[in-house]
Structure 1
Amino acid sequence: MLRIGAVAAAFTRDLDFDLQRIATLIEHARRDGVGLLVLPDAALGGYLTDLRQPDLAALPPALPVDDVHLRKIAGLAADMVVCLGFCEADGGSRYNSAVCVTGDGVLGLHRKVHQPAGESAAYAAGDRFTAFDTPAGRLGMMIDYDKSFPESARALARDGAQVLACLSAWPTSITNRAPRMAQDRQSRLFDLYDQARAAENQVVLASSNQTGALGGMRFLGQAKVVGPGGDVLARTWSKAGIAVAELDVPAEIEHARRVLNHLDELRPEAYR
């Protein structure tokens, strides 16, 4: 059995503040017996303050994968698998990246492929989706807008991922503000994509997200764990917290695929 935790929380430009918040979340997750903890996108350094016209003078700090803050988080993780988002520095390029660590170091890295609105002014784009093995099973990671594209999750599932970690800094609608969160278009899509990506690939999905506000961005929260049938097993709604669900991942996937196995029944030659 594996306990999966998906986090909804707020993060800032202050790396030391973020590190302390992450330490607290790992401590709470460990107390709950969590084996896989998925923190939001931009958990170190916060996200952009505006998507349409990013302030290039106030971007999140860019960190190499071997940065001391990431090494400290790996140490805090110990035997827990922890996924988190950060702004990655690689040569002269910056990426919106997600890293997966344990006390043994880095297990996997993903650079966000699909970029909304003006994000390309702040980050370079990644170019692949690759699953990787961890003590919590074979994982794949997506960031924010990646999950709007079915091909992202499908590529990871076809690469053997049994759990998809979806790390987000997903805001309310920028163009059509709703008076209530429940009426927000982006809130509805966030939940829809989470459930659809799990169900169409018959995998487990852990969806994290930021809360609160940064600049002109107001984040949704709504962290959740979704089963391979598309059913929400645990969620935080719009508040900060950790959605925790315990399940036998291989058994649940085998059960979901016992009659209709979507991956086995694909017809790639028909997709033009």
Structure 2
Amino acid sequence: MSVTVASVSANFTRDLEQNYALIAQLLDDARDRGTELVAFPEAAIGGYLSSLGNHGDTVKSTRRSLPPAIRLDGPEIARVQELAGDTVVTIGFCELDDDGETRYNAAVCLDGGTVYGSYRKVHQPLGENMSYSAGSEYRAFDTPVGRLGMQICYDKAFPEAARMLALDGAEIVVSMSAWPAARTATAEDLQDDRWTYRFNQFDIARALDNQVFWIASNQSGTFGSLRYVGNAKVVDPGGNVLATTLLGAGLAVAEIDVDETFRAMRGGMFHLRDRRPDVYGAIAEADARHVNGWRELAHA
């Protein structure tokens, strides 16, 4: 059975009313095209951080610039559910933990009646840990459009993250980002920027590694010191880009048939089946031996 999916490239700010209006507009556009799943970017509710690196936002020094902290069961998520209706939506936000203090870069998958799953970003780049705590779990879950897993931005650089979801049965992986252009030696044409190139290559590689449908959303435009690269896309299990926004804002829409595509793509060379876990134990052993040394190098 085929379903139509859409990935969003758009600019979201601290203005929640602007965010909701944009979400509503994009959902209307997607529904007009028969879309059943819409993937919004990282931090689509309340915007992302205004900068990264040594001058990143911190709770203590730049409280006013931080995204609003939202509870998973709060009115902000409920409002997105109202807008979603029968459409399955994945969307990023800043989650406030039950302790009332701890913040996570998070995402939720929902429709008007159900929250299907949530995720807290595990991998943190360039000082993001000054603003957010890290998550610790990858888990797939069932939705009306198939078994789905979620990642956020830098997660896509780690093959293990996508593999964990694939091994948990994910047929579709949604990778939500606020992925910027390079901070130095930025290309005049952002489509040629080296960070745009990496963003696109990771999407293709992770889809092909795990033979899953990969839906990559991203912020576009600018926010604070960050200039986003867009390039929302839908990639099939063979690493083929079915639809992309390139640098522009809007929707990348594609019709996918999970069962039929999996039969074709996995009928011969099936990467998950053909793994050799008995050979991979050295990976965990190497982590235990070298992680402290890597940390020392990173802070040298």
Q: TM-score, normalised by structure 2?
A: 0.89
Which residue is 1:191 aligned to? 200
Q: Does 1:106 align with 2:115?
A: yes
Which residue number corresponds to residue 173 of structure 2?
164
| Native 8 Å contact 2:57 2:130 kept in 1 | no
Aligned-residue RMSD, C-alpha: 0.8
How much does 1:268 deviate?
1.1
Shift of 1:233: 0.3
**How far did residue 55 of structure 1 move?**
2.8
Secondary structure of 1:117's counterpart equals coil
Match of 2:19 in 1: 18
Matches within 5 A, 1:136-155: 136-155=145-164
Provide the rounded CA distance (Å) in 2 between the counterparts of 1:26 and 1:69. Answer: 17
In the alignment of these two chains, the number of paired residues is 272
Aligned match for 2:67, one of 60, 67, 81: 60
Q: What CA distance in whole angstroms lies between the structure 1 residues aligned with 2:109 and 2:142?
A: 10
Structure 1 or 2: larger helix share? 2
Deviation at 1:4, TM superposition (A): 0.6
- Counterpart in the other structure of 2:240: 231
Moved more, 221-230 or 175-184: 175-184
> Could you tell which deviates more after superposition, 31-40 or 175-184?
175-184
* Paired letter, 1:141: M
- In structure 1, stretches of 5+ residues that fail to align are none
Q: Which residue of 2 aligns with 1:253?
A: 262
Contact 2:191–2:229 (Cα < 8 Å) also in 1? no
Which residue in 2 is equivalent to 1:2? Answer: 3
The one of 156, 163, 174 aligned to 2:183: 174
- For the residues of structure 2 that align with 1:33 and 1:195, how far apart are their CA atoms? 25
Using the TM superposition, give the Cα deviation of residue 127 of structure 1 relative to its aligned residue in structure 2, in angstroms.
0.4
2:252 is the counterpart of 1:243: yes
* Structure 2 counterpart of 1:72, from 70, 79, 82: 79
> Max radius of gyration: which structure?
2
Percent identical among aligned pairs is 48
Query: How far, CA to CA, are the matches of 2:85 and 2:225 in structure 1?
Result: 36
1:203 corresponds to:
212
Quick check: 1:19–1:69 contact (8 Å CA) kept in 2?
Answer: no
Structure 2 gaps of 5+ residues are 283-300
- Cα contact 2:11–2:221 (8 A) shared by 1: yes
The Cα offsets for residues 112-166 of structure 1, whole Å up to 9 and x where unpaired, read as 0000011000000000100000001100000000000000110000000000000
**Structure 1: which 4+ aligned runs deviate by more than 4 Å?**
none
Within 1, Cα distance between the matches of 2:184 and 2:273?
Answer: 40
TM-score (norm: length of structure 1):
0.98
1:183, CA displacement in angstroms? Answer: 2.5
Amino acid at match of 2:27: I
Provide the C-alpha distance between the structure 1 equivalents of 2:179 and 2:74, rounded to a whole number of angstroms: 25
**Structure-to-structure mapping, 1:85-124, within 5 angstroms:** 85-90=92-97, 91=99, 92-124=101-133
For 1:203-246, what per-residue CA distance to the aligned partner results, in whole angstroms no more than 9, with x for missing partners? 10110000000111000000000000000000100000100000
Q: Partners in 2 of 1:262 and 1:124 — Cα distance?
A: 33
Mean Cα deviation higher: 50-59 or 140-149: 50-59
State how far apart, in whole Å, the 2-side matches of 1:97 and 1:112 are.
6
Paired letter, 1:36: L
Distance of 1:158 and 1:252 partners within structure 2: 18
Give the CA deviation at 1:69: 1.8
Q: Give 1:67's aligned amino acid.
A: G
